[in-house]
Amino acid sequence: MKQKLYISGMILGATKKSIVILGNGISGITTARHLRKKTDYSITVISEEAPFFFSRTALMYVYMGHMQFEHTQPYEADFWEKNKIQLIQKRVIQLDSENQQLLFDDKSSLSYDNLVLACGSIPNRFGWPGQDLKAVQGLYHKQDLDNLEKWSDSIHEATVIGGGLIGIELVEMLHSRGKKVHFLIRESSFWNTVLPPEESELVNQHIRAHGIDLLLLSELKSIKGDTDGRVCAVKTKDGKELPSEFVGLTVGVSPNVAFLKESGLAIGKGILVNRFLETNLPNIYAIGDCAEQQEPLPGRSAIESVWYTGRMMGETLAQTLAGKKTAYQPGPWFNSAKFFDIEYQTYGQISPSPDKKKENQIYWQHPNKNCAIRLSFDPNSMKILGGLSLGIRMRHATFDQWLTQNYQIEEVIKNLDAAFFDQEFSLNYLKEFQNEWELKKSEFAFRL
């Protein structure tokens, strides 16, 4: 699909406020869309990466052949012009807050009345020898996908470093093209800082069942190159040498704030914001992966690099910019992902190692299928705290209601079938989980 980049040179009216949004990910574009619905402000979105908004989480499916890159772009080519949202594809190198200007690498500049910083994250690198060799990269930007495609035909073996969600996505991508994949994880089990032990082990087994060389308690020492400057092997701290024509560095991300260090913005790990997403400088806001909450809500991280929180920040900030000052209220925690073909969903609080005085958990796992359900609850009040499912799709709205309205755990379990997705066509395992509860509930010190 051919697309036309719309950069308006037209002045929309001297009295119209100018809103400039740096970043065209989910948070920045959500702000622009909602603000356009509410105002006739001049809106400009800037991105160095790509001119048009696309779904970053869909990049893996482009590589795996399930869709074309154009399919990751949810808006028609003329959407931006019709909605008078100006798009600029340039690199910003400096923020001049005193004069309310952004400076570009081509020495041009752009003025603003209000600035929204939605500049996202960058992949972490920790100074490993060889990390700058050819065919060593992360998987975050569109350019990363293009580079992976460029190297792909010459990859026989690959190594992925880091056991998070991006890491397992990259493992699955390479596996789908028939590559032998080594998966280095420094922890004792996959994602065990987030997943409880049973779920983590279930995913370990699932990864290995796909033929992946899962190496637990394994850390990268160095990356070895050939005479052409391309990676040829990976060395681990325990002495292994793994042949590799490609290395994926997926050891987390950090807020993209280096270019703002001299701007006068208050910066910690990210750009510090209050509950209204305001920075310390007038008329400047920060949202999405680059924003760091100064007063995070109880049980929430100061920086949340999650699609749905970025969208909610964009919706919230659009209200404020349109004249209705609104605090960011994300509601109960939610996240979802896939581990190969195992769907994962989590809601509220599920601790991998719970303090039994504050959190009890009931867990059921299917004896021969890769599916499981876990619920957590307060042992004193008996209120539900959270839920987690593997291989079973659940309804976000139902869990959100239970958590916000402080449902009792017994009531949740009695009505658990309301949370199962596609009830008519899918097995929901309601009776199995209820039976598990009846067997285990006597082990919990609680008051019925």
* In contact, 255 and 121? CB cutoff 8 Å: yes
Kindly state whether residues 309 and 349 are assigned to the same domain.
no
Kindly state whether residues 302 and 279 are assigned to the same domain.
yes
pLDDT at 424: 59
Task: Look at residue 129 and tell me if it is in a domain.
Answer: no
Kindly state whether residues 37 and 177 are assigned to the same domain.
no
The Cβ of residue 354 has, within 10 Å, a number of other Cβ atoms equal to 16
Enclosing domain of residue 235:
136-251
For residue 110, how far is the Cα from the chain centroid?
30
Tokens representing 9 are: 């040179």
- For 229-284, the pLDDT digits (tens) are 999 999 999 999 999 999 999 999 999 999 999 999 999 999 999 999 999 999 99
Task: Look at residue 408 and tell me if it is in a domain.
Answer: yes
Task: Look at residue 398 and tell me if it is in a domain.
Answer: yes
pLDDT at 11: 40
Q: How many CA atoms lie within 13 A of 258 on its CB side?
A: 5
Kindly state whether residues 258 and 247 are assigned to the same domain.
no
Kindly state whether residues 389 and 432 are assigned to the same domain.
yes
Domain count, the chain: 3
Distance CA 361, CA 351 (A): 9
Task: Look at residue 10 and tell me if it is in a domain.
Answer: no
Final residue belonging to a domain, choices 233, 251, 269: 251
Task: Look at residue 102 and tell me if it is in a domain.
Answer: yes
Task: Look at residue 13 and tell me if it is in a domain.
Answer: no
In angstroms, the Cα distances linking 372 to 253, 322, 364, 429 are: 29, 44, 6, 9
In DSSP notation, 64-93 reads TTSS-GGGG--S-TTHHHHTTEEEE---EE
We report the CATH number of the domain holding residue 406 as 3.30.390.30
We report the CATH number of the domain holding residue 89 as 3.50.50.60
Distance CA 235, CA 242 (A): 6
Distance CA 250, CA 162 (A): 5
Beta bridge pairs of residue 9: none
Helices assigned H by DSSP within 233-374: 307-321
Distance CA 49, CA 23 (A): 9
Final residue belonging to a domain, choices 218, 251, 284: 251
Task: Look at residue 9 and tell me if it is in a domain.
Answer: no
Low-confidence ranges of the chain (pLDDT < 50): 1-14, 447-448
Final residue belonging to a domain, choices 295, 321, 347: 321
Distance CA 175, CA 214 (A): 13
Tokens representing 394 are: 């659940």
pLDDT at 166: 94
Kindly state whether residues 116 and 263 are assigned to the same domain.
yes
Task: Look at residue 5 and tell me if it is in a domain.
Answer: no
Kindly state whether residues 85 and 106 are assigned to the same domain.
yes
**331 contacts: CB under 8 Å, gap ≥ 6:** 312, 400, 404
Distance CA 66, CA 86 (A): 31
